[in-house]
Chain A
Amino acid sequence: MAHAVNEGSYLTNPKGWKSWLLTLDHKRIGIMYLLFIVISFALGGFFALALRLELLSPAKIIFTAKQYNQLFTLHGAIMVFLFIVPSIPASLGNFVMPLMLGAKDVAFPRLNLASFYIYVFGAIFCVYSMISGAADTGWTFYTPYSTTTNTSVISMTLGAFILGFSSILTGVNFIATIHKMRAKGMNWFRMPLFVWALYATAIIQVLATPVLAITLLLLILERTIGVGIFDPTIGGDPVLFQHFFWFYSHPAVYIMILPAMGIMSELVTTFCRKNIFGYKTIAYSSIAIAIISFLVWGHHLFVSGQSDNAATIFSILTFLVGIPSAIKVFNWLSTMYGGSINLKTPFLYFLSFMVLFCVGGFTGIMLGALSLDVYFHGTYFVVAHFHYVMMGGTVMAFIGGLHYWWPKMFGKMYSEFWGAVACFFIFVGFNMVFFTQFILGAKGMPRRYFNYLDQFQPLHAFSTMGTWVLGLGFLIMAFYLIDSLINGPPAPANPWGGMTLEWHTQSPPVTHNFDVAPVVDHDPYDYRRIDG
């Protein structure tokens, strides 16, 4: 068994659909997650295209006000709960992290499979909500609107409630794996930075998600049996809901962005063929972000009627959480200095992230300032800001990571030419859609408006046209990635010259990951060792 080349890869060994559905292999579970996550992204994207189409003109085009409200709710809920929260950790993280640690699998393979099926189960509820009078509350489910509307709020929140458990189980599994499954010689500071980022993410997943679960459960109890928690007509307080909701949902923003930052560190080292600049600073700043992220939720409530003193403290803490993110950007930039930069598709997404995330960060500073937030709150400025961070940040890194590990996952190469073309359309389209929305918001255009004043039409129409350019980019990507699976040339074990352990096994890896258990005696990005 020393050189078991004939054994095939994890993709074909063992064979049969049953061996996939009941698999305990982290790589297969990662691939199944990836499939569902990509479907969710396509569905959420389809809703985005539809609602932007309606906004092409201030008058009604296709949808009624209610249908429009359902569309933006579905877009938000699907993108957040089904796509972006699980996106990087559950798919790429599941696949790559044990390989990076030199492990055979995660610590609890059965739990890993369970969390996948819980995800599917939760997704069923969300889909059921879609076809049975979709919720029209916005993905934030603010009370008392959400407790009084006659749409199917319960199945959507129940779906999100169940999805939360999947997230918690993945977090627990990752924490245990990172503590106990590292290869011989791999101490904490020899771990790749993607693993550090997943560790920080897992902490938030485990600690914050239960609060969301409780909140949504209370909402369901209020709707079904009239327990007065949030609805003032039965003795509740609607602002309490906002505190509960954001106590999870703000840390959740970091569940979404931290893994993306981890991917950025991997991309910049491999494609510059150089050690990361400031390893420890990047690692510690992930943990710092995870901790401070629990203490900033109140910046969503500056105009909600919470006390001015509370708002002041939340504003200070919000600025503090921005600093570690800025440090990371400077570190990635410095890593490029004196490198040997290989401008392949994954690195194009690295560059896109750098540009777009900076815009998202700067506008985040504006929104953290109390007086400006009072003005921008509830306008398109906020919509543009969080899309620059979530889509310009997380989605760019997710796509970058997908292209980076694609040869490892499927053993096939894709077309670099079409990769660059798609990236160009996505970058240009994205800025058309969302930079326009900064101007709209600054001019006073409120979000979640079915109709708008005629004077806003030129900007709205331009933004909508941007979605078509963006959509075209993703369509091209779908074509060349699928084509690569069928016709792509076989990938070598290490197509990019990466240092981390996942590149030290064949592409795609064997079922048990490594033929010989790796031993680590150097830093994760120590290119000097091989390049002199």
Chain B
Amino acid sequence: MAKEVVVESLMKSGSFWFPEGANSITNSVDGLFYFILIGSIILFVGICSTMAYFLYKYRRTEANPVATSHITHSTTLELLWTIIPLILCVIIFWWGYKDFLSMGTPPGSALEIRVIGKKWLWQFEYPKEGVKTLGELVVPVNRPIRLVMGSEDVLHSFFLPNFRIKRDVLPNRYTRLWFQAERMGNFQIFCTEYCGDGHSAMLATLRVVSEAEYQEWLHGGSGDSDEPLPELGKKLYTKNACNTCHSIDGSPSVGPTWKGMYGHKVSLDGGASVDVDDAYIKESIENPKAKIVKGFQPVMPTYAGVLREREMLAIIEYMKSL
């Protein structure tokens, strides 16, 4: 836990078009793209060079004031350019359909993890072990993983670019997504269904680790590292998506800035005021709607049961340092 998590760059890894794949299905999906791309380039170059040739050959000059051909149609040609694209489309459809089916069919042995999307963070829960995490999904390599996803508010969409998979996350039904990581590493997770002010900050990380490391992470207390509290707090600030709504430089955002907040009095919605001390911070994290700072909306989700006690202290210490 103490070591820095560096997410693999999408731009720097992989080919010109795609980020480096990590899912069992990636090659086939990319293959279809290149199949269409090559076909398109052949057709595109064909159309453009024919057009350029015609433009030159049949340009209006004194010698060519009117059309020299009066051909009105050619059934053979027209059938040809109807049937050939049709055949190509059938192949493309079939290829896409085949992979779409495997994307929707997880093996029965898959490890199930629950995903909750809410404005504006991703929460993951391992039902058997009762482990909850925020902004970080940890899975073992080479094992099928099944995500069962739901939303607490509006629509979101769970997108893993390196795995070429995506599924909307809805408030009124469960959607599923599955993958099998073929290599270890840290990968980007995006929200790809517009969900409001914090949409572009609704990010998370997928950590693919070895089976042994996974077991250790699942059962070892990840929060109880030796890391000094303010430094741990700084990491939690981004990892738990506090940064989506709370700035640390004094600029206003969806929520109050943390800069200089600790130890000062703030006015609350409804006229009262409160000292920002350890107790108020803990209450606001676990029960955010209890005391709303004046001028802000009650939109923060609860973090109750997600933060360990040492993590709570770390955030408080971090706020003190700002």
Interface residues of A (CB under 8 A from B): 64-66, 69, 136-138, 142, 144-145, 148-149, 232-233, 237-239, 272-281, 302-305, 308, 311-312, 315-316, 319-320, 322-323, 326-327, 329-331, 333-334, 336-343, 351, 354-355, 358-359, 362, 365-366, 368-375, 377-379, 439, 442-453, 455-456, 459, 527-528, 531-532
Residue of B68, B86, B157 touching A338 (CB-CB under 8 A): B68
B217 adjacent to chain A (CB < 8 Å)? no
9 A-B pairs with the lowest CB-CB distances in the bound complex, closest first? A338-B69, A444-B161, A369-B96, A232-B172, A378-B192, A370-B100, A371-B99, A449-B200, A362-B40
- Alpha-carbon separation in the docked complex, A514 to B58 (Å): 34
Known: A238-B170, A378-B166, A443-B18. A455 touches B194 (CB 8 A): no
In the complex, chain B residues 1-31 whose Cβ is within 8 Å of any chain A Cβ = 9-12, 14, 16-19, 25, 28-29
0/1 string, B144-170, CB within 8 A of A gives 1: 000000000111010101101111101
The minimal Cβ–Cβ distance linking B151 to chain A, given in whole angstroms, is 9
Q: Is there an interface contact between B194 and A142, defined as CB atoms closer than 8 Å?
A: yes
B255 to chain A, nearest CB (A): 13
Contact for B173 among A305, A340, A342, A449, CB less than 8 A: A305
Bound-state Cα–Cα, A232 to B190, Å: 24
Contact A377 B192 (CB under 8 A): yes
Identity of the chain B residue whose Cβ is nearest the Cβ of A233 in the assembled complex? B171
Known: A303-B166, A323-B85. A312 touches B47 (CB 8 A): no
Closest to A274 in B: B67
Contact in complex: B33, A372 (CB < 8 Å):
yes
**Which residue of A has the minimal Cβ distance to B90?**
A319
Given contacts A359-B44, A370-B100, contact A377 B85 (CB under 8 A): no
In the complex, what residues of A have CB within 8 A of residue B37's CB? 366
Taking CB atoms, residues of chain A closer than 8 Å to B36 are 362, 365-366, 369, 372
- Chain B 55-70 interface 0/1 with A at a Cβ cutoff of 8 Å (1 = within): 1001110001111111
**Contact between B33 and A366, CB atoms less than 8 A apart:** yes
Residue from B18, B68, B93 within 8 A of A316 (CB atoms): B93
CA distance A378 to B194 in the complex (A): 9
List 29 interface pairs A-B (beta carbons < 8 Å), by A numbering: A64-B197, A138-B194, A148-B154, A149-B196, A237-B172, A238-B172, A278-B73, A302-B100, A311-B100, A312-B100, A327-B81, A334-B74, A336-B55, A336-B58, A340-B67, A341-B55, A343-B55, A343-B60, A354-B47, A365-B92, A368-B96, A369-B36, A369-B96, A370-B99, A370-B100, A443-B10, A449-B200, A453-B10, A528-B70
Nearest CB in chain A: distance from B189 CB, A: 10
Give the distance in Å from the alpha carbon of A355 to the alpha carbon of B25 in the complex. 33
Question: Given the complex of chains A and B, what is the CA–CA distance between A136 and B154 in angstroms?
Answer: 14
A462 → chain B closest CB, angstroms: 13
Contact, CB under 8 Å: B58 / A337: yes
> Does B97 touch A at the CB level, under 8 Å?
yes
A65 nearest CB neighbor, chain B only? B197
Nearest-CB residue, chain A, relative to B192: A378
Q: Does B279 contact A (CB under 8 A)?
A: no
Chain B stretch 35-55: residues in CB contact (< 8 A) with chain A: 36-37, 40, 43-44, 47-48, 50-51, 54-55
Cβ of B257 to closest chain A Cβ, rounded Å: 14
Please, which residue of chain B has its CB at the minimum distance from the CB of A365? B36
What is the chain B residue whose CB lies nearest that of A525? B72
* Residues in B neighbouring A531, C-beta threshold 8 A: 66-67
B183 located at the interface, meaning its Cβ lies under 8 Å from any Cβ of chain A in the complex: no
Min CB–CB distance A447 → chain B (angstroms): 8
How far is it, in angstroms, between the C-alpha of A354 and the C-alpha of B55 when the chains are bound?
13
Q: How far is the CA of A390 from the CA of B174 in the complex (A)?
A: 35
Q: Please report the C-alpha to C-alpha distance between residue A340 and residue B58 in the assembled complex, in whole angstroms.
A: 5
Contact B28 A340 (CB under 8 A): no
Q: Is the CB of A340 within 8 A of B65?
A: yes
- CB-CB nearest in chain B for A332: B51
The answer to whether B72 touches A375, judged by C-beta atoms less than 8 angstroms apart, is no
Q: Is the interface of B mostly helix, strand, loop or mixed?
A: mixed
Are A315 and B44 in contact (CB-based, < 8 A)?
Answer: no
Residues of A within 8 A of B89 (CB): 319-320, 322-323, 365
Knowing A144-B171, A339-B67, the reply to whether A277 touches B72 (Cβ < 8 A) is: yes
- Residues in A with CB closer than 8 Å to B188 are 444, 453
Q: CB-CB < 8 A to A315: which residues of B?
A: 93, 96-97
Looking at the complex, which one of B81, B92, B191, B198 makes contact with A369 (CB distance below 8 Å)?
Answer: B92
Distance in angstroms from B45 CB to nearest chain A CB is 10
Inter-chain CA distance A233–B168, complex, in Å, is 18
Asked if residues A448 and B194 are in contact (CB atoms below 8 Å), the reply is: yes
Pair B101/A308 contact, Cβ less than 8 Å:
yes
A136-B196, A351-B55, A371-B96 known; 18 new pairs, CB 8 Å cut-off, are A65-B199, A238-B172, A275-B71, A312-B97, A322-B89, A327-B82, A334-B74, A336-B54, A339-B69, A340-B65, A340-B67, A343-B55, A358-B48, A371-B29, A451-B201, A452-B200, A527-B66, A527-B67
CA distance A227 to B262 in the complex (A): 44
Q: CB-CB < 8 A to B197: which residues of A?
A: 64-66, 69, 450
- Asked whether A308 and B77 contact (CB < 8 A) given A144-B171, A455-B10, the answer is no
Q: Are A443 and B33 in contact (CB under 8 A)?
A: no
Across the interface, which residues of A come within 8 angstroms of B96, CB to CB? 315, 368-373
Q: Taking CB as reference atom, which chain B residue is nearest A307?
A: B104
Asked if A374 meets B165 with Cβ closer than 8 Å, knowing A275-B70, A340-B66, the reply is yes
Cβ of B95 to closest chain A Cβ, rounded Å: 7
Contact at A374–B11, with CB atoms within 8 Å? no
CB-CB under 8 A from B195, the residues of chain A are 145
Contact B29 A372, beta carbon cutoff 8 Å? yes
CA distance A334 to B76 in the complex (A): 13
CA distance A453 to B200 in the complex (A): 9
Q: Contacts A341-B54, A359-B44, A366-B36 given: A142-B155 contact, CB under 8 Å?
A: yes
**How far, in Å, is B315 (CB) from chain A's closest CB?**
22
Q: B86 and A336: CB pair below 8 A?
A: no
Whether B32 is near chain A, meaning CB under 8 Å from some CB there, is: yes
Given contacts A278-B78, A303-B168, A372-B96, contact A308 B104 (CB under 8 A): yes
Complex formed: what's the CA distance from A193 to B72 in Å? 14
A223 to B151, CA, bound (A): 20
By the criterion CB–CB under 8 Å, are A305 and B170 in contact? Answer: yes
* B133 interfacial by beta-carbon distance below 8 Å: no
Taken together as a complex, chains A and B put the C-alpha atoms of A277 and B58 apart, in Å, by 16
- CB neighbors of A among B178-216 (8 A): 188, 190-201
Chain B residues positioned under 8 Å from A442 (CB to CB) = 17-18, 33
Residues of chain A lying within 8 A (CB to CB) of residue B153: 144, 148
Q: Say whether B155 contacts A145, CB under 8 Å.
A: yes
Q: Which residue of A lies closest to B165 (CB)?
A: A374
Q: Is B175 an interface position by the 8 A CB rule?
A: yes
The residues of B that contact A65 with a CB separation of less than 8 Å are 197-200
Given A144-B154, A145-B196, A443-B17, check contact A369 B32 (CB 8 Å): yes
CB-CB nearest in chain A for B203: A453
Within 8 Å CB of B191, what residues of A?
Answer: 446
B266 contacts chain A at the CB level, 8 A cutoff: no
Closest B residue, CB atoms, query A375: B164
Report the bound CA distance from A333 to B49 in whole Å: 11
Contact A274 B97 (CB under 8 A): no
Please measure, in the bound complex, the distance between the C-alpha atom of A330 and the C-alpha atom of B48, giving whole angstroms: 11
Least CB distance, B161 to chain A, in whole angstroms: 3
Q: Which residue of A lies closest to B59 (CB)?
A: A341
Point out the residues of chain B lying under 8 angstroms from A377, CB to CB: 157, 166, 192
